[in-house]
Amino acid sequence: MAKKNQTLGEFIIENQTEFKYSSGELSRLINSIRLAAKVVNHEVNKAGLVDIIGAAGETNIQGEDQQKLDVYANDKFIQTLTNRNIVCGIGSEENDDFIAINSSDDKNQNKYVVLIDPLDGSSNIDVNVSVGTIFSIYRRVTPVGTPVTIDDFLQKGDQQVAAGYVIYGTSTMLVYTTGHGVNGFTLNPAIGTFYLSHPNMQFPEVGRIYSINEGNYAHFPQGVKDYIKYCQEEKEDRPYTSRYIGSLVSDFHRNLIKGGIYIYPQTSKAPNGKLRLLYECNPMAYLAEQANGLATDGFQRIMDIKPTELHQRVPIFCGSRKMVEKAKEFMKNSQEK
């Protein structure tokens, strides 16, 4: 049972028996993410003060300019996950291929792989808008003690053992699930401790906020155009409010608290949408379902999609249950016309 003002450390210990595998491993996993989150938070909060922002002059596999903080955050999460000797592999938005950890050491009894978007929304850094880290944790499927393979990463979202995000906003929060609901912890930067501030987070069944980049309207599928018009109709419960921060973690977090739907659909220019299945959509889908919400690609459950590539993109509609269901109706109806 979550108690307000409990520290993250106390919460993990009190609830580690819920983790369906050996308890100590979850603690070490979440603790390594907690440490990296505090280190990255420190740098994000001073980004405006030192010349750490701005492109690092390189581009990542996505062809996007790598902001120095992207690189820094990626390095910190990989370093802490590696040092804790708990994972056998890491997949990151910033790395073309997955990273095998201690794979040559046959004593490597590590059982988990982590997929991570180390600094999502990083294009917002130099305009002082909140950004986030997203993580997804699986148990490996290949034999323990052997080198990790791509199969350990290409698992359906419903095989996740934990997932969550860190949001570096007006306050820094760690929000995560291990399959027993979603809990939010707020960092007290003065003492570097995360406190349980949002126990048992749940999407309101219906919200009044829709989040989508309407600049792409001309390229949206008809079902999305129809849903946007539905949101804008003058009715008893509408029009809804349009809010789009351009940072998935921030839009998702606001919708989780207030109710709402976030949509990044396929377009004529991007037939699979923009967001990545393994380290953006699956972890957010796990959180959404654990918080009484839904996450689909417009037609099927995100967590039922069998991944085929480390960096594959999928469309995503996620948030309050009734809103995602309504959007799915519009997508289905437009297909049948």
Q: Which residues are near ligand P6P by CB under 6 A?
A: 120-121, 123, 213, 246-248, 251, 274-275
Residue 213 C-beta: closest distance to ligand P6P, Å: 3
Q: Are 249 and 167 in contact (CB under 8 A)?
A: yes
Residue 1 corresponds to which tokens in the numbers above?
């049972």
Strands 261-264 and 209-211: parallel
Whichever of 179 and 246 has its CB closer to ligand P6P, that residue is 246
| Beta carbons within 10 angstroms of residue 205's beta carbon | 13
Structure tokens at 60: 């990542």
CB-nearer residue toward ligand P6P: 133 or 247: 247
- 3-state SS class at 298: coil
Residue-wise DSSP of 15-37: HGGGSSS-HHHHHHHHHHHHHHH
Cα 211 from Cα 157, distance rounded (Å): 23
Nearest approach in angstroms of CB 122 to ligand P6P is 7
Q: Which residues, at least 6 apart from 207, have a Cβ–Cβ distance to it below 8 Å?
A: 240, 255, 258, 259, 260, 261, 319, 320, 323
CB 7 → ligand P6P: shortest distance, Å? 29
- State the Cα–Cα distance between residues 278 and 311, nearest whole angstrom: 7
Shortest Å distance, C-beta 247 to ligand P6P: 5
**Whose Cβ is closer to ligand P6P: residue 25's or residue 117's?**
117
Distance CA 27, CA 249 (A): 23
Q: Which is nearer to ligand P6P, 73 or 161 (CB)?
A: 73
Compare residues 86 and 248 and give the one whose CB is closer to ligand P6P: 248
**Residue number with CB closer to ligand P6P (281 or 303):** 281
Task: Provide, rounded to whole angstroms, the least separation between the CB of residue 1 and ligand P6P.
Answer: 33
| Min separation Cβ 309 and ligand P6P, Å | 17
